[in-house]
Chains A and B, each alone.
Chain A
Amino acid sequence: EAQVTQNPRYLITVTGKKLTVTCSQNMNHEYMSWYRQDPGLGLRQIYYSMNVEVTDKGDVPEGYKVSRKEKRNFPLILESPSPNQTSLYFCASSPAGGLYNEQFFGPGTRLTVL
C-alpha cells in the first residue's frame, strides 16, 4: 500500500531532550516536506527536500533540523525542544516537481514539550 509513515504518532517529552521524528514513504517520491499545524495558524512548512541531499528551509525552520540521506526517509530532528514546539507535525511527499503535484501526507505526530 502506497503510504507515508511517521513515528512516533504521539510523543511527550521535556525541554531540551533531543528527539527525532521519522518519516518514510514507499512511493519513490522525490519531494518530501515537514509541516506543523497549530490552532488558528493552519499548516506551516518547516523544511522541504527536492531530492537526496537537497534540503531547504520553509517558513518556520528555527529549532529544527532535517536530513535526506535516502530517498525514502526524511527525519525531523529537534536538537533542544522547547514548549513552543508543541504541535501536530505532518510529513508529506510528492512526485518529482513537488511544486505542482498533490502531496501525500502521513498520519501526523502529536508532540508535547513540557
Chain B
Amino acid sequence: AQKVTQAQTEISVVEKEDVTLDCVYETRDTTYYLFWYKQPPSGELVFLIRRNSFDEQNEISGRYSWNFQKSTSSFNFTITASQVVDSAVYFCALSGLNTGNQFYFGTGTSLTVIP
C-alpha cells in the first residue's frame, strides 16, 4: 500500500528561524516519485519540487532544501531563515509506477511564521 505520513500537524516558528517539515512514505514500488506542494492562506496549491526514487541527491532552491533518504523512507523539507510569506500548509505526495497513476497525499503540515 502507498501511504504518506506527515506527523507534524501544526508548527509555529519565529521569523528567521529554520524549520524542517517531515514526510515519511510507504511504498512497495521500486520506482516512485515524491512531491511537495504549498497551500498558502489564499487556498491555491503550488508545486514546489519533485524527486524520483533513483535520485537521492539533496536539493536546494534558495531558502528551501529537501533531504531524500531512502534508508528511512523520508523526504524532509527545510526552510532556512523562515519568513512570514512561508506561512502555509505544506503537503507531501507520492506516486508509484506499479500502482497506477494515483497520487497519495499526506495530511499536511500547517506552518505559521510569527513576525
Contact between B102 and A44 (Cβ–Cβ < 8 Å)? no
Query: For window 93-107 of chain B, which residues contact chain A by CB distance below 8 Å?
Result: 93, 95-97, 100-107
Give the interface size class of chain B. 20 to 34
> Which of B33, B44, B91 is close to A99, meaning CB atoms less than 8 Å apart?
B33
Bound: A83/B32 CA distance, A:
35
Bound: A90/B44 CA distance, A:
9
B43 interface residue per 8 A CB criterion:
yes
Contact between A42 and B106 (Cβ–Cβ < 8 Å)? yes
Query: For window 16-69 of chain A, which residues contact chain B by CB distance below 8 Å?
Result: 31, 33, 35, 40-45, 48, 50, 56, 58-59
Q: List the one stretch of B45-53, B70-78, B80-88 in contact with chain A.
A: B45-53
Bound: A84/B34 CA distance, A:
30
